[in-house]
Structure 1
Amino acid sequence: MGIASKQRASIAGTLARASLVPLAVAAYAFTLHWIYLNLITSNFRYLGYGYTTPDVYTLIFTYMAAAALAFILPNRLRNPSDILLWILYIVAVAPAILIPPYAGYQDASEAALAGIGIALAYAVSIVGARRQPEIPIQPLAKPLSGTSFWILLGVYSAFVYLMIYFTLGLSLDFISLLDVYDQRDEYREGLAGGGAIVGYLVSTQANVVNPLIIAYGLLKRRWYLLALGVLGQAILYSGTGFKTVLFSVPAVFIFAFILRHGRQIRTTWLIWGGVGVAAMAAIVDEIQGGILWTSLFSRRFLITPGVLTAVYMKYFADNPKALLSNSVLEGITTDHYGLPPARVIGYHMTANYEAAANANIFADGFANFGAAGVLGAAVILAIYLRFLDRASAGLPLRVSGLVVIMPAVALSNTSMLTGLLSHGLIAAVLLLALFPREPVAPVKEILPTAPIRDRRQSSKLHRLQGVASPARARSQ
C-alpha cells in the first residue's frame, strides 16, 4: 500500500471513529440515566441514591467531555495499560462524569466543573501512558525461568491458603449472593482479630495471582491450571463474600475471548459491552420481578462510582480536605475528622459510623487535596502504566492483559495509594516482570524451506534475511 493510500485509510478510520465513539458513549449515557431514574432511585433512595432533574446544557457538556475522553483512548488493545485505561473508563471515569448532574448532590455548575476536571485529569493519564509504537519497550527486570517462577508462585499461594485456614478457616460452601454480607462481617471480624496481613494476601491472590494462573491455563490449554485458578477464586469467595472475586472468573474468560480476536475487535465494542450488561441485567430483573441483577452489575459497578464522586466533591468542597491524615501523612497533616474519607462520607450519607463509602481514585484525590489531588492521582496512574507496560514487555497480551482486570476494577472504589499497595497493582507489575518469556526463534529457523516461486514472497524473504532481493540488487 502506497503512502497516499495509507493516508486515505488513516483519514477514513479517524472519521469512522469520530462517528462511532460519540454514538457508543451516547448509548452508555442514556442507559445509565434510564436505569438510575427508573430502577435505582425507587429501590435504593434510602442509601442516598437521589435524583434531581438535570440541566440540559450540563448533560450535553458532560456527555461531550466523556465522548472526548473515549475518542483519545487507545483504539486498539496492544498493551496491558490500554486494557486498564478502558476498564477504568467504563466502570468509574465515565459514570463519574455522566451521573453527577442528576444525582442531586451538586448544582449544574458544580457538576459541569467536576466533570471537566476529571476528564482533563484522565486525559493526562491517557497521554502520559502512550508510547511511540516504533520505540521498543525495555523490560523492567530479568524474568525467572519457568520452573523457578511456578515454584515461587506455588509456594506463595500455598502460604496464602494456609494463612486463611489458620486465621479464618476454609470452606467450599457456595454462598448465595443474598447472604454475602453476613460472610463479609465474619471475614472482617477475623481480620480484626489479628489477621490483618491476611487481607493483603487475599487481595493479591484474588486480583492478580489466580487470574494469572487462569490466563496462562487458557493460553496454553493447560486445563489443570485453569481449574486451580477457578478453584482458588471459589475458595476466596466462600471465605470473604466479595462478589468481585466471584465475578472475576467470567470477566477473565470474556476478556480472554476479546484478546484472542483483538485485531478484529474495536475498543468501542467495550462501551457497547457496558451498555449490554446493564440492559441485560434490567431485562432479567423485569422478567423475574426483582432488582438483584441491576443492583449487582449496574448499581454496584457503574452507578455507585458516579454518585459517590458527586458526594465526595460536594462535601469536601464545602469542608476541610482530609490531607491523607489517616494514611501516609498521619501525624504530619491536621486530622479534621478522626476518620478516613470513606467513613466520613459513609456517615454523611447514612448516619452510620461503620458505613464505608469507598470511591474512585479521583474522588479520593479530591477529598485529600482538592483539584491538585485529582491531577496527582492522574499523574501517578500514568507513571504506573509506564512501569506496567515495561514489566509485561515480551509477554502475550492474553496473559498480561488479563492480570490487570481486577486491579483496574479495584481503582473504581479505592484510592490510588490503596490500589497500589493493597489491591494488586504493584503485585501485578512484579509478577509480570518475573514471568518467564518464551524464546523467540531466529529468523532463519522460521523461514520457509519450500521453493520460492512468487516474486513478492521472495522479496519478503530477503527483507527478513536483511539482504537485498536479486531484482533490487540488479537495479543497484
Structure 2
Amino acid sequence: MTNFKSFLFAPLVVLGLYLIFKKGFKNSILLLMTSALSTLLTIMILLYKTTEGIVVLSIFLRRLFFVPANLHYTYFNFFEGMEKYKLSHSILTFIYDNPYNMGPVDLVARDVFGLEGFSPNVGIFGDAYLNFGLMGIIIFVVLLGSILVLFDSVAMKSPLILSMTIIIIPSMSLVNSGMFTSLATHGILFAIFVTWLSSTLLHRNEKVVGK
C-alpha cells in the first residue's frame, strides 16, 4: 500500500483519533472531521490563490476527491454496454474466461488513456460495476456490510480507539482498489484478525487481573 501517498499521513490520522477520544469528542467525530477538512481545504485554496503553488492543493484536494470520483465515472462510462468481467481476472478465473485477456486496470489504461504501464485503479463501486454491472454494486455493498458486521462483533470487547486505529488505514484502500484486493492484499481481513486477537488477549488479561 506504500504506493498511495495517503499512507504517509497514517500516523497523523491515528494521533488525531487518539486526541479526539482522549478529549471526549468521540460522539462528534464526524462533525469534527468535516469541519477540519473544510477549514483545511479553504486554507489550501487561499494559499493557491496567493502563491499559485499547485502541489499541496493537488495532493489534498484533486487526488483525494476528484481523481477517485473521475476514475469511477471513467469505469462506469467505459464498461457500460460492454461484457463484464465476472471476476474472471480474479477469484473466479477457474469458472469464467477472461473476455479481454487482461485485467480491467490494464484495459482501461490502454483503451481510455492510451498508456502502457499505467494503473488507473478504481474503488469498490467501479470494481463492482465492471464485474457484474449495477447488480454487482448491490452485491458488493451487501458483502462489505457483512464484513463490517463481522468486524463490529470481533471489536466489541476491545477499546474503540484500538479497533478504529487498526481498521482505518486498510479501509482507505476501498477508495482506490477492488473489493477482494482490499480484503486480502491490502489487509482488511488481516486487520479484522488482529482486532480479534487483540480483543481476545485484552479480555483474557482482564480475567487474570480480576482473579
Question: Do both proteins adopt the same fold according to a TM-score greater than 0.5, normalized to the shorter chain?
Answer: yes
- Is 1:361–1:411's contact at 8 Å kept on the other side of the alignment? yes
Q: Which amino acid aligns with 1:245?
A: F
- Give the aligned partner of residue 38 of structure 2: 275
- 2:190 corresponds to 1:414: no
Q: Distance in 2 between matches of 1:375 and 1:315?
A: 20
Q: Distance in 2 between matches of 1:279 and 1:366?
A: 34
> What SS does structure 2 have at the residue aligned with 1:267?
helix
- 2:28 corresponds to 1:265: yes
TM-score, length-scaled by structure 1: 0.40
Match of 1:287 among 45, 50, 53: 50
- Is 1:277–1:297's contact at 8 Å kept on the other side of the alignment? no
Q: 1:288 to 1:269 in 2, by over 3 A?
A: same
Q: Which amino acid aligns with 2:88?
A: S
Q: Distance in 2 between matches of 1:428 and 1:331?
A: 28
- Give the aligned partner of residue 12 of structure 2: 250
Q: What do residues 205-251 of structure 1 show as CA deviations (whole Å, max 9, x unaligned)?
A: xxxxxxxxxxxxxxxxxxxxxxxxxxxxxxxxxxx564223111111
Q: Distance in 2 between matches of 1:419 and 1:358?
A: 12
> What SS does structure 2 have at the residue aligned with 1:338?
coil
Q: Which amino acid aligns with 1:353?
A: E
Q: Distance in 2 between matches of 1:345 and 1:271?
A: 33
From the CA coordinates, give the structure whose radius of gyration is larger. 1
Q: 1:274 to 1:347 in 2, by over 3 A?
A: farther
Q: 1:248 to 1:418 in 2, by over 3 A?
A: same
Structure 1: where are the runs of 5+ without partners? 1-202, 204-239, 443-476
- Give the aligned partner of residue 430 of structure 1: 193
- Give the aligned partner of residue 310 of structure 1: 73
Q: Which amino acid aligns with 2:5?
A: K
- Is 1:323–1:334's contact at 8 Å kept on the other side of the alignment? no
Q: 1:245 to 1:284 in 2, by over 3 A?
A: same
Q: 1:286 to 1:349 in 2, by over 3 A?
A: farther
Q: More displaced, 373-382 or 257-266? A: 257-266
- Give the aligned partner of residue 206 of structure 2: 439
Q: 1:314 to 1:287 in 2, by over 3 A?
A: same
Q: What do residues 390-428 of structure 1 show as CA deviations (whole Å, max 9, x unaligned)?
A: 221221111111111112211101111011101110111
TM-score, length-scaled by structure 2: 0.87
Q: Which amino acid aligns with 1:419?
A: S
- Is 2:121–2:176's contact at 8 Å kept on the other side of the alignment? yes
- 2:60 corresponds to 1:297: yes
Match of 1:384 among 110, 130, 147: 147
Q: Which amino acid aligns with 1:439?
A: E
Q: 1:358 to 1:286 in 2, by over 3 A?
A: same
Q: What do residues 135-159 of structure 1 show as CA deviations (whole Å, max 9, x unaligned)?
A: xxxxxxxxxxxxxxxxxxxxxxxxx
Q: Distance in 1 between matches of 2:17 and 2:152?
A: 18
Match of 2:90 among 310, 327, 336: 327
Q: 1:377 to 1:280 in 2, by over 3 A?
A: farther
Question: Percent of counterpart pairs with the same letter?
Answer: 25
RMSD, aligned α-carbons: 2.0
Q: Distance in 1 between matches of 2:111 and 2:175?
A: 20
Q: CA deviation at 1:318?
A: 2.6
Match of 2:105 among 336, 342, 357: 342
Q: Which amino acid aligns with 2:87?
A: L
> What SS does structure 2 have at the residue aligned with 1:275?
helix
Taking the TM superposition and a 5 Å limit, the aligned residue runs for 1:90-109 are: none
> What SS does structure 1 have at the residue aligned with 2:21?
helix
Q: Distance in 1 between matches of 2:114 and 2:193?
A: 41
Q: Distance in 2 between matches of 1:353 and 1:333?
A: 25
Q: 1:349 to 1:251 in 2, by over 3 A?
A: farther
Runs of 4 or more above 6 Å deviation:
none
- Give the aligned partner of residue 374 of structure 1: 137
- 2:129 corresponds to 1:403: no
Q: Distance in 2 between matches of 1:300 and 1:361?
A: 17
Q: 1:336 to 1:280 in 2, by over 3 A?
A: farther
Q: What do residues 163-204 of structure 1 show as CA deviations (whole Å, max 9, x unaligned)?
A: xxxxxxxxxxxxxxxxxxxxxxxxxxxxxxxxxxxxxxxx5x
Q: Distance in 1 between matches of 2:40 and 2:90?
A: 36
